[in-house]
Structures are given as C-alpha cells and as structure tokens.
Structure 1
Amino acid sequence: MLAFAAVSKLPPALSVQSVEAYQLFSPELSRFIGFTLPLLELALALLLVVGMATRYVGAASGLLMLVFIAGIASAWARGLNIDCGCFGTGGQVAEGETRYGLDIARDLGFLALAAVVTIWPRSPLALDRLFGLYR
C-alpha cells in the first residue's frame, strides 16, 4: 500500500497539490512535504518488503498513519471539500464528494497493521533474521 501510494503521487506536482489542499502549511513547506512524502512512503515500503529494521519501520509507518488521520480529521473539522490525496488524486472536490470517514477508517486499519508489525516483527524471509535482530 505504501509503495502504491508513493507511485500514485508521481509526478510530484500531484503530491504538492494534495498537501496544499489541506491549507495547513506555507507554500514552501507544502512543496517540501509534497516532494519528500512519496520518497518516504517508498523507502518505508521497500524496507518492509525486504524485512529490514522491521519493528522500527512498522512504528514509523504507524506514526505516518497517525499524521494522515490527523490531517484528514482536520480537513473534515474545518469543512474543507478535498480528496485526501492518499493515492495521488488530492485537491478540491465538489460538495458532498468527500469520504473522510472511509479514509480515516482505512488509515486506522493500516495503523493496526503497523502495530502488528511493530509488536511481532519476525518473519522467516526477513533480512532482520540474518542480522540476528529478532530471534
């Protein structure tokens, strides 16, 4: 999911547009976040796939989901009509086309999965086993 989210935000202009729609940051900071967020998501996805630093990457992914949930809840509370931008389609939408509840529920599910990986990071195919991190 993280890899798909990262790739769907390309070109970076899509991600910048999504971040700007939340109206939380200055244009410069929105641009920085828009450019770096897909890179962060892709890095986390690759580390999870190969099983490197699994517990830490799971925790970082969980924190990222909390940030996403907070952002969506903020947009909802302020009455913004935007797409969450989670999969590259962010920006303004027509009134009544928002899916904030579903977006938050989805991210809560991903948060639960991140918690599972953080608590039980062991996997027979993970590189962590080669380094003896989790026996």
Structure 2
Amino acid sequence: MSSTDATDGVATSRGFGARWQILQPWLSLAVRLAMGIIMIAAAIPKMINIDQSVRAVRAYRLLPEAVVPLVGTALPYLELVFGLILLVGVFVRWSAIVWLVLMAAFVFGVAWAWAKGYSIDCGCFGGGGDVAVGTTNYPEHMLERAGFVALGVFLLVFPRTHASLDAWMKGEPLFSRP
C-alpha cells in the first residue's frame, strides 16, 4: 500500500465523520418529531373517548380495578404532554429514556395479553378492549413496538437535535453547524 492510499483512507473516514456531524442532528430531529407525533396521535383518540381508553386499560387485566379508571383517564393526557415535550425538544435524552420505559411497559402489556390468550385491541391509538378471537395480530404489534424502541434508542444515543429547546437553553443556535 502506498502512502497515497493510506492518506485517501484517512480522508474518506474524516469525510464520513464530517458528513455524520452534519446529518446526525437532522436525523435526530426527524426521530424526535416522529416520536412526538406518535405520542400525540396516540393521545387524541383516547382523549376524545375516555370511556374507550378506560376499556382498553381494563382489557389487559393487569391493574387492580380501582386504578383502571384513573390510568385510562390520565394516560392520554400524559401522552399528549409527553408528545409536546418531544416536539419542542426539551430534555431530549431524558425524553428518550421515558419513551423507552413507556415502550417497555407497552411491550410487556401486549406480551402479557398474548401469553394469557386474551384477544384484545391494544388501544394504543384509540379503541381498545376485548375483540373477537382471531382478530388480534400480536406479532404485528410487537414489530411496531420494536420500531418504536429503535427510535428511542437512536435518540438516546444521539440526543443532539436541531430546533430543540435544549440547544436554545444552552445558548446554542437552533440550527447549529458542526
């Protein structure tokens, strides 16, 4: 290998690093906004029909009946607030952690219902409750959750995003340059 080949390899690796520094905050912004939109999309149908949200929580048969109405009522409002926090980009790394904890809880709930043989609509984006046997596609729900977990892991590892209140509170520009 000549010295020119070695130099070209270094330049190429530096080029990728420079491109990643430019691309990463944009990718993280897209992931953060997607996560916020997902949370808001999950919250709104539940807020419109709180009774259905309560039925969805009840269908999992995980919580004592005394707390089911509280969880079913509060969950959509918490999802909405969390979605807005993601959209504005405040506490991005902590938001990724909260997202992953929520996804773990949702995965556990779906796995629980699946393992117990319950046939339920998860109620993740409205609806919810017991449904006819054979109408639930648990593998599809788990794949969807795996994608959501991937979003959270990406944002946890790469929390620096454009257009975030985190950057603004640090005195950085909303659209920084590497």
Q: TM-score, normalised by structure 2?
A: 0.72
Relative to 1, partners in 2 of residues 1:133 and 1:106: Cα closer, same or farther, differing over 3 Å? farther
Q: Name the CA distance, whole Å, in 1 between partners of 2:156 and 2:83.
A: 14
Letter aligned with residue 46 of structure 1: L
Identity within the alignment, %: 38
Q: Where in structure 1 are there 5+ consecutive unaligned residues?
A: none
1:15 shift after superposition: 0.9
- Show the 5 A alignment for 1:85-96: 85-96=123-134
Match of 1:19 among 54, 57, 63: 57
Letter aligned with residue 84 of structure 2: L
Residue in structure 2 matched with residue 31 of structure 1 by the alignment: 69
1:133 shift after superposition: 9.0
Match of 2:135 among 80, 91, 97: 97
Q: For 1:64-100, what per-residue CA distance to the aligned partner results, in whole angstroms no more than 9, with x for missing partners?
A: 0110000000000000011111011101111110111
Task: Choose between structure 1 and 2: higher helix proportion.
Answer: 2
- Corresponding position: 1:76 with 2:86: no
- Corresponding position: 1:3 with 2:40: yes
Q: Alpha carbon RMSD of aligned pairs, Å?
A: 1.6
**SS across alignment from 2:159:** coil
Paired residue total: 135
**SS across alignment from 2:63:** coil
Q: Where in structure 2 are there 5+ consecutive unaligned residues?
A: 1-37
**SS across alignment from 2:123:** coil
Q: Name the CA distance, whole Å, in 1 between partners of 2:55 and 2:171.
A: 40
